[in-house]
Every structure is written in structure tokens, then in C-alpha cells.
Amino acid sequence: MERTLSIIKPEAVARGLIGDILSRFEHAGLKVVAAKLTRLDKQRAESFYDVHRERPFFNSLTDYMSTGPIFVSVLEGDGAIARNREIMGATDPAKAAPGTIRKDWGTNVEENAAHGSDAPETAAAEIAFFFTADEIQSSGS
Ligand code: UDP
Ligand code: MG
């Protein structure tokens, strides 16, 4: 069993897409084992995306991610990290495969509806960024 962090980004929350997006994960066999609506201020957004600090889109991305509430969850399942990224689709919605979250609901390469961890180490760090151990349920319970 693997865990990954998912974020439904501000524009998708504002458009009322939390239920539709979660439903994609659940239908794909990923279990929601932790979840909350929260908000990043600019400084916490910068900290979350620290790996992208030198990228040209860093300032705009962290501004965007602090514009409104986000829905963060921990998804659990076999191969959850890769499966989540498959369901999300390519970073740029214009290049994402049909039937993916970003294809169906992403606005542009920045406002692309969802975030998903990209490797076991980043998943662990990103889960710990938002959740304490006792906020995460084991999927059997
Ligand atoms: N992003 C952007 N412009 C780009 C590439 C990425 O605004 O040219 C944003 C986008 O919101 C993306 C996030 O930065 O989801 C993190 O980029 P990454 O390359 O890690 O893509 P992801 O893992 O989210 O597919
Ligand atoms: Mg990434």
C-alpha cells in the first residue's frame, strides 16, 4: 500500500469541483485516508513548492496557490503515486489525455486543477506538510 498527497487547487475548489475530482480518485480504487479544506498563505505556498524556487513560474504559482481555499487529501492504494498522476494527466491541460482531471477541468498550465506527489520521498514530505500521523486513518478501518 502506498500513500500520496493530493491537492485540489484554488480554481477547482472555487468552481465547486471537489466532489467530481474526489470521485475520480475513488472510482480508480484510491482510498481517501485523510482530508481537509485549508488555505496556504504566500510563505507556506513558497515552502511547499520550494523545489521549484528557481523556476520562472515560481512567483506566479505561489501567488495563485494562495488565492483561495485548497482541498488536501491523502490517497492510499497500490501504486497510489503513479495512479494519481495518471488520473490527473499531464501538467499542461492542453496536453493531458482525454478523461483526465486536468483535461476536463484544468484552466491552463498553472491553474491545472490538481497537484499530486511525484515520488515516495516527496509524498512522505508533502503528507507531513499538511497532516499529523493521527489525522490519517488506515484504509482497513
Ligand atoms: N507550472 C506552471 N508553469 C509551468 C510548469 C508548471 O505554472 O510551465 C505549475 C503547475 O501548477 C504545476 C506546478 O507548477 O502543477 C508544479 O510543476 P511540476 O512540473 O511539478 O508539475 P506537476 O508535478 O504538478 O505535474
Ligand atoms: Mg510536481
Beta-bridge partners for 114: 8
Q: Is the separation of the CB atoms in 131 and 34 below 8 Å?
A: yes
Q: Is 35 helix (H, G, I), strand (E, B) or coil?
A: strand
Distance 70 CA to ligand 2 centre (A): 16
* Ligand 1 lined by 129 (C-beta under 6 Å): no
Task: Using the atom order of ligand 1, give the atom closest to the CA of residue 118.
Answer: 23
Cα 25 to Cα 76: distance, rounded to the nearest angstrom: 10
pLDDT digit string, tens, across residues 32-60: 999 999 999 999 999 999 999 999 999 99
The answer to whether residue 52 is catalytic is no
Per-residue pLDDT tens digits for 67-102:
999 999 999 999 999 999 999 999 999 999 999 999
Task: Pull the grid cell for residue 122.
Answer: 516527496
